[in-house]
Structure 1
Amino acid sequence: MTVTDTDATSGVPGRASRQAYDRETVLRKCVDVFLDHGYEATSVGMLSKSLGISKSGIYHHVSSKEEILEVASDRALAALEQVRDRCEAMEASWVDKLEYLLRETVRLAVEERAYVTLLLRLRGNSPVEMAALGRRRELTRFVEDLMLKAQQAGEISPDVNPQVQARLQLGMANSVVEWFAPEGRTGVAELQDNVVELVFRGITRG
C-alpha cells in the first residue's frame, strides 16, 4: 500500500508529503542509506531525512530499523536458498550443479545487488545479523558438500581443497556487487560465462 505521509518539513497532518512510498520502496531506500553510512551508524532519523518522510511514515511499514535489516537480509538469503533448492533437485552431474549454482549466484549478485551487498557486510553484531550469518554459512556448507561429491566422483581434481574452493568461488561471485556495472558493455550472461570459464576451465591454453 502507498501512504501519503504528513509533510516531512512541517509535520502538519493532512498536508501532502513530498514523497509517497510503498513498503518495497521504503525498504530499498533504507537499504541504500545503510550501504552509504553503515547499518550501525544509521538512525531512523537519518532514514526519515533521506527518504523525505516522517518517522511515522517509516513506522507505518516497519516496526524498527532492525526489521528493515531482517527483511532485507531475508530477501537476499531466500533467493539464494531457492537456488540451492533447485540445484539440489537437479538431475545432473555434480559439476553441472556447481556451475548452475555459480551462475545463479552471479545473477542474484547483480539483480539483488543492494540486498546482497548488505548481507555481505553483516558482522554478527545483533541477533538478526547472527541469524542471517547462520543461514549464509549453511549455503556455504552446501557448496562445500557439492565440491566434495564432485571430487569423490572424479569430476574435479583430487588436489583441490573443497572447503577452500567453495569460499573462493562464492567470494568471486559475490565480489561483482562491488564493481560490475549492469549498464556497461558487458552483460550479465557474459559475466556468468567468464566466471564459469575461470573456475572450471581456466584461462591458459593447452
Structure 2
Amino acid sequence: MSISSTKPDAPRRGRPGNDRDDVISAAVRLFNEHGYEATTIGMIADQLGVSKSAIYHHVRSKEELLAAALDHAMGALEAVLDDPRAVTGDVVDRLEFVMRGTVTVLTGELAEVTLLLRLRGNTELERRVLERRRHFDRAVAQLMQDVADEENIRADIDPRAATRLVFGMINSITEWYRTDGPLNGQTLGDLVVRLVFQGLRARSS
C-alpha cells in the first residue's frame, strides 16, 4: 500500500556555523514551544544567533522545516514496521518488537515525535502526514488482531481497544520523558512490554 511522502526538496548548502540539521532542530523546539503558526523564521534565526537570510541559505520556507521534521519522525516509526523482526516470526514477538521499537523512536526522537503527535490536520502537509500515521496505526492494530486470532491474549479483551490503550500509553511518554532522566529507551521499552503483556497474555490452564 503506498503512502504519501512529505520529503522536502534536496538540502541546500548553507553558511558555516549552523548546518541544515541545526536549523531544523531549532525550528522543532520553537514549534513545540509556541506552535507552528506562531513561530516565525525570525524567531528561528534568533534562536541560532544568525540573520534570517542565513536561514534561507538552508531552506526555502518554514513549511519545509516542518516537512523535514515530520518526515524524520514518521520515517523512524515506519522503519520499525519495515524491520524483518516486525514482519516474520512469532506474532507475539513481532508485537513486542514493534512496541519496543516505538518506545525507542519516541525517546530517541522526542522533539520530532512530540511535534508529530500534536498535528491537527490544518494544512495539506499535515493531512498527508496524518494519513501516514493512520497507516502506521492500522498496521499495529492488525498485528494486535493477529495476536488475538492466535489466542495469545485473553478472550475478554477487545484487540482494537487494547491497541488504542497500549499506544495511548506509549504516546504519553512524550509528555513526561526527559532525555537526561534515569530511564533510557531500552529500559523503558522493556518496562512497557512487561506491563502490557502481564495484562494481555492469555494464561495457560
TM-score when normalising by structure 2 = 0.86
Taking only aligned residues, the RMSD between alpha carbons, in angstroms, comes to: 1.9
| 1:3 lines up with 2:19 in the alignment | no
Q: Distance in 2 between matches of 1:69 and 1:31?
A: 8
Q: Distance in 2 between matches of 1:42 and 1:202?
A: 43
Instruction: Kindly tell me the number of residue pairs found equivalent between the two proteins.
Output: 189
Name structure 2 gaps, 5 residues minimum: 1-12
Name structure 1 gaps, 5 residues minimum: 5-19
Deviates more, 1:155-164 or 1:110-119: 155-164
Counterpart among 78, 95, 100 of residue 98 in structure 1: 95
Counterpart among 19, 24, 34 of residue 22 in structure 1: 19
Q: Which has the higher contact order (CA 8 A, sep 6+)?
A: 2
Counterpart among 136, 140, 151 of residue 139 in structure 1: 136
Counterpart among 120, 123, 128 of residue 123 in structure 1: 120
Do 1:87 and 1:100's aligned partners in 2 also have CA atoms closer than 8 Å? no
Structure 1 position 108, deviation (Å)? 0.7
Q: Which has the larger radius of gyration?
A: 1
Match of 1:84 in 2: 81
1:120-158 CA distance string (max 9 Å, x none):
111101011101111000000001101111111111123
Match of 1:198 in 2: 195
Q: What percentage of aligned pairs have identical amino acids?
A: 45
Match of 2:4 in 1: none
CA separation of 1:202 and 1:158: change in aligned 2, threshold 3 A: closer
1:66-125 CA distance string (max 9 Å, x none):
111111000000011010111576432211111100001001111100110010111101
Structure 1 position 2, deviation (Å)? 5.3
Q: Residue 168 of structure 1 aligns to which amino acid in structure 2?
A: L
CA separation of 1:152 and 1:171: change in aligned 2, threshold 3 A: same
* Matched position secondary structure for 2:97: helix
Do 1:87 and 1:101's aligned partners in 2 also have CA atoms closer than 8 Å? no
